[in-house]
């Protein structure tokens, strides 16, 4: 079955710097890759997603890139702010009914 690896497990950056979180997946048939942000004590919130027919998607300060050949995708956050501090999860699924397989999460800390 699908396996999603996420790195790093923790990431600390200075406010204003960029942050990059990387995920790899094992099933080449996977075609949907969402990213979730989970603040302490809260539910995971979908922040951006990408489907396999595109290589990059941007939404203001966040972007996701997908390399289907290498089977990896990344989350990029530019101009980080303290409120970006949270745990970020990547996930992958295939088909219209495939369950999401989550990475183990990355704890991002943005220091003012």
Interface residue list for another protein (CB under 8 A) = 32, 34, 36, 41-46, 49, 89, 93, 96-100, 102-105
Beta carbon nearer to another protein, 85 or 93: 93
CB of 66 to another protein, least distance (A): 14
Question: Of the two residues 42 and 111, which places its CB atom closer to another protein in the complex?
Answer: 42
- Dihedral angle at the C-alpha atoms of 52, 53, 54, 58, nearest 10 degrees? -70
In whole angstroms, give the CA distance from residue 53 to residue 68.
9
Count the Cβ atoms, other than its own, within 10 Å of residue 32: 16
Q: How far is the CB of 91 from another protein (least distance, A)?
A: 8
Q: Which residue, among 82, 23, 74, has the nearest Cα to 48 in the 3D structure?
A: 74
Q: Which residue number, 14 or 96, has a Cβ lying nearer to another protein?
A: 96
């Amino acid at each position: 079955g699908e396996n999603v690896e996420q790195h790093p497990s923790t990431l600390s950056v200075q406010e204003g710097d960029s942050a990059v979180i990387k995920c790899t997946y094992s099933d080449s048939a996977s075609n949907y890759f969402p990213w979730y942000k989970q603040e302490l004590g809260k539910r995971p919130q979908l922040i951006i997603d990408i489907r396999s027919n595109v290589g990059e998607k941007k939404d203001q300060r966040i972007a996701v890139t997908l390399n289907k050949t290498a089977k990896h995708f990344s989350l990029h956050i530019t101009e980080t702010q303290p409120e970006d501090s949270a745990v970020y999860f990547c996930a992958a699924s295939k088909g219209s009914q495939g369950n999401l397989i989550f990475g183990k999460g990355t704890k991002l800390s943005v220091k003012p």
